[in-house]
Every structure is written in C-alpha cells, then in structure tokens.
Amino acid sequence: MVLFFCCITLKNFKSSKLNQKPYIIELPKNHSQMSYKKRKKKYPNMLVNIALPVPLYKTFDYKVHKDSLLPAVGCRVQVPFGRQTLIGLVIAYTQLEDCQIPSNKLKTITQIIDKNPIVDKNWLKLASWLATYYHYPLGDVIGVMLPTFIREGKPINVASPHWRILPEVLAAYLKEDTIPSQISARAYKQLEHYQNLCVFGEDGIDETQLSKHKLTKSYLQKLAEKQVAERFLQTPVQPKQAKMIESPLHLNNEQSLAIQAICDAKNKAGYQGFLLNGVTGSGKTEVYLQAMLPILANNQQVLILVPEIGLTPQTYARFANRFEANILLLHSGLNNSERLAGWQHCRDGQAQIIIGTRSTLLYPFKNLGLIIVDEAHDTSYKQQDTLRYHAANIALYRGLQHNIPVVLGTATPSLEHIKLVQDGKLTELALSKRAGKAKPPELYLVNACNKNTTYIQQPDGHAIDSRLTNDVVKTMRKHLQAGEQVLVFINRRGYAPILLCNACGWQADCPRCDSHLTVHQSQLNTQQPSYLKCHHCDWQAYMPTTCPTCASHNLDAVGMGTTRLTENLHALFANPQISKQIYPIIQIDRDTTRRKHSWQKIYQTINTGKPAILVGTQMIAKGHHFPNVTLVVMPTADRGFLSADFRSPERTAQLIMQVAGRAGRDQKTGKVLIQTLQPDNPLLLNLVKNGYQPFAQSLLNERQLLGLPPYTFAALIRCEAKNYQQTLAVLNEAKSLLPAHHQLAILGPVAATMKKKNNRYQSQLLLLSKNRQQLHTVLNHWWLTVKNLPVAKYIKLTLDIDPIAW
Ligand SMILES: [Zn+2]
Ligand SMILES: [Zn+2]
C-alpha cells in the first residue's frame, strides 16, 4: 500500500499518460497580473491547459482572449466544449507548437472566474496522483475533490455572511438585559432568537452555523426588518491559538511511549506512518488528544478522520471538551453552503481541528500538522463508486506530501496494515492494556444447537425457539438483576432474512436482484403493516398471505433479524405475565435511528446506566463507550466464518472483537458469549483462545500461501449491462487485448458476487500481480485501450484499484 510512494508517485509521476505534455511551465510569480501585451511578448504562443469534468482521459488546450489576462494555474475558467459550456480548472500552460490541434480550431476561454488560484500546487499534485494511481480521468478526479458550489462556478467569498444584534441594541441588552420594544411580547420565536443571538456578541455568528445553534434565517430576517439584528459580511480573521481547557488524563507507559514517538516524528523526520494498535478501551483517543497538543500549539491544523456520521457528535464532544479551538465537523449531512464554508475554512486555516469522513481528505489545507485515521480498518474508508479511493492510503500519501506524521488507529488492524508494519513501512505503537482499571473482556463459546435453546410458550400452546441458549438467558438475567446492561449483537436488520413456503419450497426473491427479500413485520407494533423489502435495491411489496406458486398458507419467516430478536427478548425479559421484573429493550439499527436526533435520544437512555437490553447491528460495534454494559451476547456472529469470500474471516473477527470491546469498559469485567453451531471451528477457537493478533497472523500466512492480497496487488474490472452475455463478451474482448507476456494472474471473466442487481447484470475480471509497478504498467496502456472500445460508450465499465470485495 505504501510501496506506491516510491514507485508510482515519484518515478512514474512524470511518465504517466496524464503527463505526456510539458506539464507545468514555470512562470514568473506575478504572471497573473501581467498584461496581455507583455505576456504576448514574453510567451507569444501560450495556451492554457484545462481539466474539464468529462469522462475523457485527457486535458484540453484553450486560447486566452486578447484583452484578457492569463489565468493562473489553479483558477476556474468557463469554456465552450462541443455544444456545452463547462467550468474547468487551469492546470498548466502549453506552448502552441506543442499542441496537436491546428491553431484555427482552438477555442477561446469565455470567462475567467477566479483572479487568484483557488487551490495550491500540493492539491493539484494530489489530484494528478489520484488520476494516475486510480486510472481515472483528471477532470473527473477534480470533480470528486471539489464541493458542488465550486464546481458550479459560484464565487468564493473571502468574506462570509454573519448575523448579529445591532451594536446599539446589544449595548442596551448588556447594560440592562432589556427586550427591544420592536419585539412584541407574544412573538416567542423572535424573542428566543433575539436572546440566542445576543450570546454571540458583536462578532455575531457565521450564517452556515445557524442551525447548529437553533437559529433560523427567517426569524433573523424579521429581527432585521425591525432594526434589531443585521446581516453583515465578515472577513475571516485567523483564529486565536487553540487552548487546552481540560486537564489531560493520566497515561500508562504504553500511551506515553506512543505520544512520544508521534511527537519525535514530527520534530525529526516529518513524515512517518504509525499503526496505533490498541485493544478496545485502551485509550487511543487520549493518545490522539495529547499528540495533537504540540501541533495545535505550533498553529498547525489537525485532521481526524472517522468512519461514519454516527460517530461524529460523540467524537466532537471529546475534542471540544479538551480544546478551546475552532473545531470543524464535516459529514455527509451538510448542505452545499455548509460544505463550501467548511472547505474554505480548511483551505484558509480558520479550522484548527477538523473531524470528517473520508472525503475530507481531498480538501486543501493551509497548514496541516497531523492526520489521524480512527478505526482505520473500517471498510467505509473505501469509496465504492466513481473514484474508488481508499482514505487510509490517501492519508499516508498526504502525510508524505506535507511531511507530517499519520496515525492509523484501530483495535483490529486490517491485514494490509499489519503487513505494512512487517515490511517496515509503518511503525507499530501497541496499546495492549485497557486504560484505567478496566480489564479485557472474557470471551466464551456457547454451543447453540437447538437442544440447548430456550423455548417461548405461545398462548395457543405451541412453543417457539428463541434462538438463545438456556445458559445465555440465565447469564443475561444475572447481569440485569445486578443492575447492569446487556448488549445483544445481530448484524441483520428486519424481522427475518427469508420468507419460505413449507409446502413447495418457494422463497420470496427480489424481482430485480439476485437476493432474497427481507421480511419486515412487528408483532409488538401491530399498526405497522408487514412487508417484504430488498436491502440491495429497496424494492418493496406487501407480505403475501398465500404462496404465489402453490397457494399454500404455510409460509414461514426463516432466520432472525433485529426485530425478531427484540420480540423474543420481550417475551423472555419484558413479559409481565411470566416475570416480575421487566427490563427495557432498545433496538438500535438503521430502521430505528433513521429520524433526526433519534440516535442521540437512544444514546441518552443508555447512558442513564439503568439495567436494559440493547439489541443492535454493527452500528453499535464502533467506538461507543457504554460504561454499564458488562455482558455482550452474539447469537449468530460466527456465520461469517462459513462464507466463501476470503475476506470474510477477517471482517467477522474484526466485528466480533469490536462488539466484544463494548463489554466491561469501566470497573466491572466484561463477559462475551458467542453462540455457535460449530464449537470446534478452528478459526473461531483460535480467535477466542488467542485473540485477534495471532488470528490475523494465521490469516496472513494463508493469504501468502494462496497468493492473495496483501501479498499480491489487485485490479478489478467490472462490466454492467442489461444483458449478462454481453457483459461477459465485453470482458472477454478486453482480456484478449492484454499485452503478451504480461505476467499477471487473470481470473475471469465471471459473474460478480451478486450477478443481477437492480435489473442490471454484472460480471468481473480480476488482475493480480506480485508487483504493484508491473500491474500499473500494464494498466496504463491497456485500460485506455479498453475504454476506447466502441462498446465502452454505452456499457458501464469500471476499474477498481486495490478492491476490497470481489
Ligand atoms: Zn408454495
Ligand atoms: Zn433488489
């Protein structure tokens, strides 16, 4: 993964197809101010080379109007392109004699949007590297990297709109706490806005931050009409130096060593990649916080990447409690103007601590001093469409580019990162003990064959299998009676994954995908109608009452999702007819947390610490700290060890360890019960007995033997069309175009793991090589040839470098 820094970045940067022409011609620093006359004299035949948002593997030369200035590299311009008008970014200058288009065919730039470059050369270099490494058109790479408003050519305001109470009104308020007579006593909302806005004093509040502080523009406008408040343009001022406002926690020896190593790297080498390998609850965040301190004191920015939006409010609180600083949260829930403001604050240095999801890594930064990738093993760091980049890779590239340390933190490192440590490309910082007095959780396997499970008596006399063993139910009761919380993990939402006809064997399948429909129903909430839903394309239908094939009424929901598990737990732990003590059961999955703030509400309930059962999907596996959870139960977590996907054991083990890590994070020792139908499965035994590290090493040995990543480098070509045979034909043709003696291992073309999805068929061709450079050399020529095939114009053909699933 880091190998490419030496071979592709540096050596191949110049020779790649994107850089065939003289790329950036050095011009005097004041060239943007130079008049056309002067420029013409000095550079008589200068053209501007522009990256445009078109799926073509090239950039385009344009002339500059004779009365216009030469736009600087990094400025946006508007140009004619075919019948359209496009906005592009100047990336270089070209001499007329180097241009292959005849001079009279060259078109002229219609508008220069920016006077000054909107991005710096480091950022352009990153764009160029992404285009080269991921074999993706430069114009499209830039399109992915820039916020919507910038792509659309909206002006970048150096000054940003703010709101404040008019100075004289504010003075009166500060003196006597008065309410202006213009606001009627019954206008509660205006009153509330007035009081809330007063808090921000004479500096006022940035318009993009209004919603965060429960302020609405329409009410502020009313206050402005009444001469109480005003909207004004504020030129950004550089923030005050960040200050520590909460004393740091006491560190153990391993934590101190880790912080020392990061600070030393910063002071000496500049760039160094670290794998902060810390067991769950070992205090990784405290290491981040203390390693950040000298960086912030040096007036540099710190970027913290987090996998998902669910994590950000919690993470935000940790950083905001420790530092008085401008902390910027960037996640997918922002609107376009908030995103543009965030982008500018990173670029201009107003943001001191930036917490963001993967795309934040593509932003320009004024003065970046440290990059932290939290939960670095998480698969959400890999973008799964358009530019298929991996944020952990780019973090390392940017660290090298800015010459600063990069910390990849995780309790369950990916095999790729473990191998980078073994190859000497990452330095491992181990945190093997839990912070404070917390002890590591104890893991146990429980044989879940159905003679051990608890049955629930139904009013009609028959009994249903709860799929929880007697031992598990007994232990749960013990922990609840002791006033503690229990977490039950199941990685499947809905009621049941399959609807089956017992008479003829029919199963409810999605008409658009190769997949079963999930049963969604609820006996607890009878108002909710039962329905079937495809979790891949969202197709939905009402639940049939009879089998569509044989008309039998004997339909059965097979398997268990969060809703069914919650119902079973209700019957066992919250049924007043069978037990005196009733415990709340909280279901946490995408269906129950979809509404705004619902997750925060659930979180508050859990944090009261009262005995309760939490039922959740992998949403609860990551990073959360529930101090009173002392028991974790996994009814079906071992299923991943049976999957055909070679990455499944790694992912399953990571998930098991992450979920197990929620147990006993405070004083009381946590217990983890893993139910399995295969108590002798060697993989599972290895994980439970020896822990994640030896388990991961045994997987690595296996991968090496089989010649799979991370011991080989992969490129996956996917073809998608309405006709399956056509996808195979296209990939076969592509395969035949591979150069002779390419020395790659080729697998396929074959159907993708999910052959049909949303009415389209997918097949794939996999290229594997022991040598990354060799793979990319082949791809450089071959992929362009494939994309230029006539059929490629109307068929979706994509290339995935370092794919994480196939
Ligand atoms: Zn049937
Ligand atoms: Zn579907």
Got the DSSP string for 732-791?
Answer: HHHHHTSPTT---EEEEEEEEEEEEETTEEEEEEEEEES-HHHHHHHHHHHHHHHHTSGG
Structure tokens at 658: 């992450």
CA 532 / ligand 1 centre spacing (Å) = 17
What distances in angstroms separate CA 31 from CA 38, 93, 473, 507, one per listed residue?
A: 10, 12, 76, 69
Closest ligand, as measured to the CA of 546:
1
Secondary structure (DSSP) of 694-731: HHHHHHHHHHHHHT-TTSSEEEEEEEEES-HHHHHHHH
- Between 121-133 and 138-145, two packed helices, what is the crossing angle to 10 degrees? 120
Tell me the chain's radius of gyration from C-alpha atoms.
30
pLDDT (average), residues 524-550: 90
Structure tokens at 157: 């305001």
**DSSP helix/strand/coil, 101:** coil
Closest ligand, as measured to the CA of 532:
2
Assess whether pLDDT exceeds 50 at residue 793: yes
CA 537 / ligand 2 centre spacing (Å) = 4
pLDDT of residue 763: 97
Which residue would you say has higher pLDDT here, 150 or 337?
Answer: 150
pLDDT of residue 459: 82
CA 473 / ligand 2 centre spacing (Å) = 36
Model confidence at 327, pLDDT cuts 50, 70, 90, reads: very high
pLDDT (average), residues 64-85: 90
Q: Which of 74-88, 312-326, 465-479, 666-680 has the lowest mean pLDDT?
A: 312-326
pLDDT of residue 789: 93
CA 515 / ligand 1 centre spacing (Å) = 18
Closest ligand, as measured to the CA of 555:
1
Asked if residue 357 lies in contact with residue 306, where contact means CB atoms within 8 angstroms, the answer is yes
CA 500 / ligand 1 centre spacing (Å) = 8
Checking DSSP bridges between strand 555-558 and strand 353-356, what pairing results, if any? unpaired
Mean pLDDT of the chain: 89
Q: Which of 409-413, 668-672, 757-761, 772-776 has the lowest mean pLDDT?
A: 668-672
CA torsion through residues 104, 105, 109, 110, sign:
positive
Assess whether pLDDT exceeds 70 at residue 119: yes
Summarised one tens digit per residue, pLDDT across range 393-403 is: 999 999 999 99
pLDDT of residue 749: 96
Closest ligand, as measured to the CA of 502:
1
CA 754 / ligand 2 centre spacing (Å) = 10
pLDDT (average), residues 134-151: 96
Cα–Cα distance measured from residue 218 to residue 291, given in angstroms and rounded to the nearest whole number: 43
Summarised one tens digit per residue, pLDDT across range 697-742 is: 999 999 999 999 999 999 999 999 999 999 999 999 999 999 988 8
pLDDT of residue 3: 38
Q: Give yes or no for a cis peptide into 749 (omega within 30° of 0).
A: yes
Cα–Cα distance measured from residue 613 to residue 632, given in angstroms and rounded to the nearest whole number: 10
Q: Which of 173-187, 353-367, 460-474, 752-766 has the lowest mean pLDDT?
A: 173-187
**DSSP helix/strand/coil, 487:** strand
| C-alpha torsion angle, residues 410, 415, 416, 417 (rounded to 10) | 30
H or E element: which one contains 225? helix 217-225
CA 759 / ligand 2 centre spacing (Å) = 8
Model confidence at 134, pLDDT cuts 50, 70, 90, reads: very high
Q: Half-sphere exposure of residue 580, counting CA atoms within 13 Å on the CB side?
A: 1
CA 495 / ligand 1 centre spacing (Å) = 21
CA 503 / ligand 1 centre spacing (Å) = 5
Q: Half-sphere exposure of residue 251, counting CA atoms within 13 Å on the CB side?
A: 19
Closest ligand, as measured to the CA of 533:
2
CA 558 / ligand 1 centre spacing (Å) = 15
CA 513 / ligand 1 centre spacing (Å) = 21
Model confidence at 33, pLDDT cuts 50, 70, 90, reads: low
Assess whether pLDDT exceeds 90 at residue 23: no
Closest ligand, as measured to the CA of 539:
2
pLDDT of residue 13: 34
Summarised one tens digit per residue, pLDDT across range 156-197 is: 877 778 899 998 888 888 888 778 888 888 888 888 899 889
Which residue would you say has higher pLDDT here, 121 or 292?
Answer: 292
Summarised one tens digit per residue, pLDDT across range 36-55 is: 566 667 776 788 999 999 98
CA 587 / ligand 1 centre spacing (Å) = 33
Assess whether pLDDT exceeds 90 at residue 581: no
Model confidence at 771, pLDDT cuts 50, 70, 90, reads: very high
pLDDT (average), residues 678-692: 91
Summarised one tens digit per residue, pLDDT across range 304-317 is: 999 876 655 677 88
Assess whether pLDDT exceeds 70 at residue 26: no
pLDDT (average), residues 647-670: 89
Model confidence at 34, pLDDT cuts 50, 70, 90, reads: low
Neighbours of ion ligand 2 (CB under 5 A): 510, 512-513, 534, 536-537, 539
* Percentage, residues of the chain above pLDDT 90: 62
Model confidence at 1, pLDDT cuts 50, 70, 90, reads: very low
Summarised one tens digit per residue, pLDDT across range 246-286 is: 989 999 999 999 999 999 999 987 999 999 999 988 999 99
pLDDT (average), residues 640-668: 88
Assess whether pLDDT exceeds 70 at residue 463: yes
pLDDT of residue 402: 94
Closest ligand, as measured to the CA of 549:
1
CA 653 / ligand 2 centre spacing (Å) = 28
Cα–Cα distance measured from residue 358 to residue 340, given in angstroms and rounded to the nearest whole number: 16
pLDDT of residue 693: 94
Cα–Cα distance measured from residue 599 to residue 613, given in angstroms and rounded to the nearest whole number: 16
Closest ligand, as measured to the CA of 505:
1
pLDDT of residue 24: 47
CA 552 / ligand 1 centre spacing (Å) = 5
CA 554 / ligand 1 centre spacing (Å) = 8
Q: Half-sphere exposure of residue 128, counting CA atoms within 13 Å on the CB side?
A: 28
Closest ligand, as measured to the CA of 503:
1
Cα–Cα distance measured from residue 460 to residue 548, given in angstroms and rounded to the nearest whole number: 27
pLDDT (average), residues 365-389: 95
pTM of the model: 0.88
CA 85 / ligand 2 centre spacing (Å) = 38
Which residue would you say has higher pLDDT here, 397 or 607?
Answer: 397
Structure tokens at 326: 């401008």
CA 547 / ligand 1 centre spacing (Å) = 5
Which residue would you say has higher pLDDT here, 214 or 653?
Answer: 653
